[in-house]
Structure 1
Amino acid sequence: MGAEAILDPAQGHPEAPILESRVLIIMTGGTICMRDSPSGFIPARGFQEQCLSRVPTFNDGSDSKGLDVVVNQANEVKEHPSLRTPTTAYGRQIRYTVFEFEELLDSSSIDAKGWAEIARTIFRNYTLFDGFVVLHGTDSLAYTCSALSFMLQNLGKPVVLTGSQSPMLVLQNDATDNLLGSLVVAGHFMVPEVCLYFNNRLFRGNRSCKVAASDFAAFDSPNCPPLAVTTSMRTNVNWDLVNRPRNIENFSIQTNLDTSHVACLRIFPGIKPQMVDAVLKLEGLHGLVLETFGAGNAPHGEDNAMTKVLADAIKRGIVIVNVTQCLTGSVSPVYATGMSLSRAGVIAGLDMTTEAALTKLAYLLALPGATQESVTRNMSTSIRGELTESSQPVFRHPDSALPERIQTLTVLGYAIAQGDFARVQEIIKTEPHWILNDADYSGNTPIHLAATSPSIAILHFLLGQGGSVHIRNHNGRTPLFLAANAGLFEHILLLRQSGAHLHSDERPAAELLAQRKPGIWGIAGITLKQMSERELEGEHTENGFERRGKGHRVDLGGSAP
């Protein structure tokens, strides 16, 4: 994946080779893949062949290249034919393949089981691809986006969900632009979030909601600006808004999320406390999302009966979250009715969407060791950018200040190279977060530079600030490769702990270098044992997966979730 700040033809380097990004398209179903039938539109198979291979925008006509895809819980790897886009405006091509679920669903039929299947597919193929695009029906797309944003923990690569209001095979459709835009984002921009791309805009997934049943502009993000907007010239990413993982941990998934333990109830004029009480006494219920009026208001009922029903449920251990029915704005207990809910123990959901509140509640309740206190605390804290904790104004440097950006990045680069930890801290403290993934003339980000810095503390600090370990420089090298090539044991271990892995394009060079320094490269993920087995038995080893013909089994060194 290329550097964020120099993805501009005007700043390109003609002598540099054209890199390929690898993207896995996961087809779950939905309108985008449907075709007509006597009973109406139904999901259909063969999306890559029927809809993409014949279109020059999605296929440059080059020889097809097989891409390995881990296809099931047994970690079976199968080779899938791939397509490649023409060279984009950013000087890069995207090679991709479509992996279709066994059962293609209308989105109104998806549930937590389907979300878990998507999460596991991404987890199993995480080291094989630079980014992921999930094709999904629009009806429940906002729920899936929100759920996945919580289920995918310490995500370091882009996961872009999209769909369409009209099938790809229909003459006038929005599917082509939505899929192409999603591919460009997943293949070019290191946005380590679960996002939703629709109608030329990239939204944070857990901030999105469906606002139109038939318009092409079907989705919006009322309380959070788009992360990116596609124009006729380019895709402009608002890097200041991008949420990055700040834990030095490997990517993992939490699939034990069950929405059958939570419920959503919309308050309406004249609602009876007995109605709310009946919902709160449902067997197995652990959490409730309450959609209230305005800034978080609900009727008291006679003798504060409604408040008493809610308070009694909270005493029984049920977590209740208050979100507004309004499209924009936040729950803020400024009125007496809202204050009474807060005093009863109802959590203010601030500006969360209903979809985000419901799926976050289900996620937190399913975490190991979860208690009512821990869920209550975390529901009002932003863990994936799903809510605004503060309404303080945000000041940004103007985008046109290019010389200042270059100057600051240069000063930071020298500080990293010299191991000046105090100076690095000082620069990062006063600069916007995009500088962490900005790049110099060689495509090296601060993480690339820190990977060979004499100070391990600098690398640890930059990783803790949200710097990406997956961006590749102009030579296609990741920070992990540079650290291994420099022979820095501690740097390699820290990068691996942060989820770094060698890109598939780097492995041939890494295997050659490993013959001279097996210890160093073994820590980075290359072992002489793997190479000798491949040479003796004619097997192909890639990204830790051992192939033994089509339909073979593989060993990940542990069971996948």
Structure 2
Amino acid sequence: MMENGTVPEKNNAVLESRVLIIMTGGTICMRPSPSGFVPARGFQEQCLSRVPTFNDGSPPATIDVVVNAAGDIKSHPSLRTPQTTYGRQVRYTVFEFEELLDSSSIDAKGWAEIAHTIEWNYTLFDSFVVLHGTDSLAYTCSALSFMLQNLGKSVVLTGSQAPMLELQNDATDNLLGSLVVAGHFMIPEVCLYFNNKLFRGNRSSKVAASDFAAFDSPNCPPLAVTTSMRTNVNWQLVYRPRSIQQFHIQTNLDTKHVACLRIFPGIQPEMVDAVLRLDGLRGLVLETFGAGNAPHGQDNAMTKVLADAIKRGIVIVNVTQCLTGSVSPVYATGMSLSNAGVVAGFDMTTEAALTKLAYLLALPDATPDCVARQMSVSLRGELTASSQPVFQHPIHTLPDRVQALTILGYAIAQGDLVRVQEILKTEHDWILNDADYSGNTPIHLAASSPGLPILHFLLLQGGSVHLRNRNGRTPLFLAANAGLAEHVLLLRKSGAHLHSEEQTAAHLLARRRPGVWGLAGIGPQEISNAELEEEEEEKEKSRGSDSIDGLAIRAQRVGSAP
């Protein structure tokens, strides 16, 4: 995997990325039947294996897929794409759900099934593509963005307006584009790929019922655009996790406790009150006019209905009916809603507001006040919290890309934390995951350099622990090979794991240095995720979640390198 799409030298061996395609159903896999188009099985065999762009004809190979919570593994036949412009091939397999659904039938149970499948296979694949119907695709994208915690790998959702088995379709381009993005670029977000554009999932909405350009992201530019030459990624927009935690999921999201109501001219307060008194309702997304306005009348009856519901503990979020723009209480009618306790949803889509509200209400110990505060805070890039101008240097005045990365590399090697911090202040975020001539990112360099605080700092800035260099090595492998036990522990806490292609070499090296490789997850002294989480909880109580004190003690206790 790489972040910036640099083309490797021709004499380098061709690396493979592993992608799991999760088939939930939808138009993309449908076939005609007497009752109309219906989802059908055998997508990989019927639709992909016969197409040269999806199958380079290489000898058959199987890939292990974890298929349930018990950890049962089944071998699935895989296919491999031809070599791409970026000098890489993508090996993938399709995992089909037992029940294939039209997207209009998917709900929180289906979202949880997708999230669990990703969790079970997180360490076995470089990234994930989810095939899904288009009708509720924006809702699923938004829901998954909140359910997948500390996501460090790309999750790309796509579908099509016409089935792949139809002569004229958009399915081929959408799936191939998704595979290229997932197999080549480390974009640790839940994304939506459609009609040659990659959108942030929780910023997307379906805008056309039959056009191939079915989705748009009106308040956030595309994260990437595919042209005839390459895929251009806007790295400044990419959201990255900025905490030292491992990937996990939150699945008890339930939309039964939330509702959405669209304000219209002449709507009666009694109508709104009836919705707000539904049994079990805990949250409401209110689609209002313009910048967040709603009719309140001379007696303020509407405002009183909303205020009374808020006093009863119902969280009400205000989003605009407009395709673009943000809720901003600048008019008197909007100010009255704000004064009543209605939360401004800024420029969130209805899909994002609804699923975020359901997600927050499902968190342990959630209170209305806490949920209301969090609804106005960007958790996964779902809203623009400030409309203030953002100033940046013109492109032509930025230092040369290679020069900047080289300077950063020297600072890391010298253990100069202050210099590293200065460089990160002046350079764009892309430098965090950019690669040198060997494919090593700053995280790779810090993982094999003595300065632990530098590695800690780079991880907090959003550096990826999953990228591999030209030799296919992850930062965790380099840290363990260098015998840096504290680095290994810190990387593991950040969600790092050895890639499947590193396992054989790691087991051989563990014979000579079992202690540090045990910390990395290899050998008899292997440390489980549960042990790491327990260690983290103990440290949070005594020192705070971002402290790196005590890593050396843990390394010595478990067994560090000689």
Give the TM-score taking structure 2 as reference length: 0.93
Alignment of 1:98-497 (within 5 A): 98-395=94-391, 404-497=400-493
- Asked if the contact 2:254/2:362 (under 8 Å) is kept, the reply is yes
Counterpart of 1:375 in 2: which secondary structure? Answer: helix
Measure the CA separation in 2 of the matches of 1:137 and 1:423.
49
Deviations 1:42-95 (A, max 9, x none): 000000000000000000000111100000122111000000000000000000
C-alpha deviation, 1:384, in angstroms? 0.1
Q: C-alpha separation between the residues in 1 aligned to 2:117 and 2:466? A: 19
**Alpha-carbon distance between aligned partners in 2 of 1:544 and 1:21, rounded to the nearest angstrom:** 25
**CA-to-aligned-CA distance 1:92-149 (integer Å, 9 cap, x gap):** 0000000000000000000000000000000000000000000000000000000000
After superposition, the C-alpha distances for 1:261-309 in whole angstroms (9 at most, x for unaligned) are 0000000000000000000000100000000000000000341000000
- The amino acid of 1:159's aligned partner reads V
| SS in structure 2 at match of 1:447 | helix
**Helix, strand or coil at the partner of 2:218:** coil
Structure 1: how far apart are the matches of 2:107 and 2:79?
31
Count the aligned residue pairs. 532
Give the alignment partner of residue 509 of structure 1, picking from 505, 509, 519: 505
- Separation in 1, partners of 2:376, 2:354: 13
For residues 499-533 of structure 1, what are the alpha-carbon distances to aligned partners after superposition, in whole Å with 9 as ceiling and x for unaligned?
Answer: 00000011111110001011110110111489xxx
* Unaligned ranges ≥5, structure 1: 531-542, 546-556
Deviation at 1:15, TM superposition (A): 2.4
**C-alpha deviation, 1:401, in angstroms:** 7.5
Q: Equivalents in 2 of 1:413, 1:325: separation in Å?
A: 48
How big is each residue's C-alpha offset from its partner over 1:165-213, in whole Å with a ceiling of 9 and x where there is no partner? 0000000000000000000000000000000000000000000000000
Label 1:25 to 1:345 Cα distance change in 2 as closer, same or farther (>3 A): same
- Are 2:57 and 1:61 equivalent residues in the alignment? yes
Deviations along 1:229-265, one digit per CA (max 9) or x if unpaired, are 0000000000000000001100000001000000000
Measure, in 1, the Cα distance between the counterparts of 2:395 and 2:253. Answer: 41
Please state how far the C-alpha of 1:13 moved relative to its aligned partner: 1.5
Change (3 A) 1:170 1:261: same
1:43 alignment counterpart: 39
Aligned equivalent of 2:23: 27
Runs of 4 or more consecutive aligned structure 1 residues displaced over 4 Å after TM superposition: 395-403
Report SS of the residue matched to 2:501.
Answer: coil
Confirm or deny: 8 A CA contact 2:519 2:525 kept in the other structure. no
CA contact (8 A) 2:518 2:525 kept: no
What secondary structure sits across from 1:355 in the alignment? helix
More contact order relative to length (CA 8 Å, sep ≥ 6) = 1
Residue 50 of structure 1 aligns to a residue in which SS?
helix
Q: Distance in 2 between matches of 1:421 and 1:203?
A: 35
What's the secondary structure of 2:500's corresponding residue? Answer: coil
Q: Which amino acid aligns with 1:292?
A: T
Give the whole-Å Cα distance in 2 for the aligned partners of 1:467 and 1:397. 22
Paired amino acid for 2:165: L
Conserved 8 A contact 1:515-1:528: no
Alpha-carbon offset, residue 390 of structure 1: 1.5
Q: Which moved more, 1:373-382 or 1:385-394?
A: 385-394
Q: Is the 8 A contact 2:514 2:525 kept in 1?
A: no
Whole-Å Cα distance in 1 between the matches of residues 472 and 396 of structure 2? 28
Helix, strand or coil at the partner of 2:478: helix
Question: Matches of 1:133 and 1:402 in 2, distance apart?
Answer: 35
| Aligned pairs (5 A) from 1:81-96 | 81-96=77-92
| SS of residue paired to 1:506 | helix
Identity of aligned residues (%): 81
* 1:554 equivalent in structure 2: none
Q: Which amino acid aligns with 1:56?
A: P
Cα RMSD, aligned residues only: 1.8
Measured in 2, the distance between the counterparts of 1:400 and 1:66 equals 48
Unaligned runs of 5+ in 2: 535-562
How much has 1:395 moved relative to structure 2? 4.4
Secondary structure in 2 matching 1:90: coil
Q: Secondary structure at the match of 2:84?
A: coil
C-alpha separation in 2, matches of 1:529 and 1:306: 64
CA contact (8 A) 2:258 2:358 kept: yes
* TM-score, structure 1 normalization: 0.93
Give the Cα–Cα distance (whole angstroms) in 2 for the partners of residues 49 and 395 of structure 1.
Answer: 51
Aligned residue type for 1:82:
S
Amino acid at match of 2:6: D
1:396 offset after TM fit, Å? 5.0
